[in-house]
Amino acid sequence: MKSDKIKNCKTVRDRLRKMLLKSFQLHDSRLYEHILNCPKCQSRIIPLGKVDNALNIIKSGRHSKNLLAKANQQAIGVLQNSLRNNPATIKLENIEPKPSLRTILTRYNQKIASTAACLVVFLLIKTHIFNSIQDFQSSGNRIVNNYYQRQLGSDLANELGKS
């Protein structure tokens, strides 16, 4: 019971945090203006930015393609004889790093998004949602037309309907 309560509190806190983050976006111009004019904030944020930059530089550095194979060869060299003679080691000694599926898919992000959008439109057509929207619109027009006919007469109502 107690754990449930804590779990609920956690979810509430999480949602509150997300709501606050949404309402207080970092791209807020007021925030930028304040930082531009406040030396105290600048002195706190600039070093953090430097750490972030350095981390990004380190992340963007690429090693040579055969480093994994080289490291595997060196590591296998100190393992037991029985392991060194294992057929699996040949594969490990010639292995090359492959990008993850996520990295490969990022190239095709836009294509995937547009295909998904097409599929959604197709599904909407299939489920007759567009037809019901049209029905709703035409019945709305009819009601408005009736109202004008009752209030202004058929001649004026027809003119208004045409315009």
Partner 1 sequence: MNAKVSSIDRLWDFTLPCELEQSQAWVLSAMQKQGPALVRLLWRILGCEQDVCDAYQETFLKLAHYDFGAKPEKIKAYLFKTATNTAISILRRKALHNKLIQNIAVNNRSVSQELPDFDHQDTCKKLRKAVTKLPDHLRDVVVLRDFGEMNYRKVAKILNITEATARVYRCKAVQLLAVWLDDEKTK
- Applying CB under 8 A, the residues found at the interface with partner 1 are 46-48, 50-55, 57-59, 61, 63-64, 67-68, 70-72, 74-83, 86, 88-89, 91-92, 95, 97-98
Instruction: Tell me how far, at minimum, the Cβ of 40 lies from partner 1, in Å.
Output: 14
Nearer to partner 1, 80 or 163 (CB): 80
Q: Cα separation of 92 and 44, whole Å?
A: 47
Nearer to partner 1, 93 or 149 (CB): 93
Q: Cα separation of 135 and 93, whole Å?
A: 67
Nearer to partner 1, 35 or 92 (CB): 92
- Beta carbons of 19 and 11 less than 8 angstroms apart: no
Instruction: Tell me how far, at minimum, the Cβ of 128 lies from partner 1, in Å.
Output: 42
Instruction: Tell me how far, at minimum, the Cβ of 123 lies from partner 1, in Å.
Output: 32
Tokens of 100: 């993850």
Q: How far is CA 88 from CA 73, 77, 80, 93, in A?
A: 12, 14, 14, 9
Instruction: Tell me how far, at minimum, the Cβ of 35 lies from partner 1, in Å.
Output: 16
Q: Cα separation of 26 and 21, whole Å?
A: 8
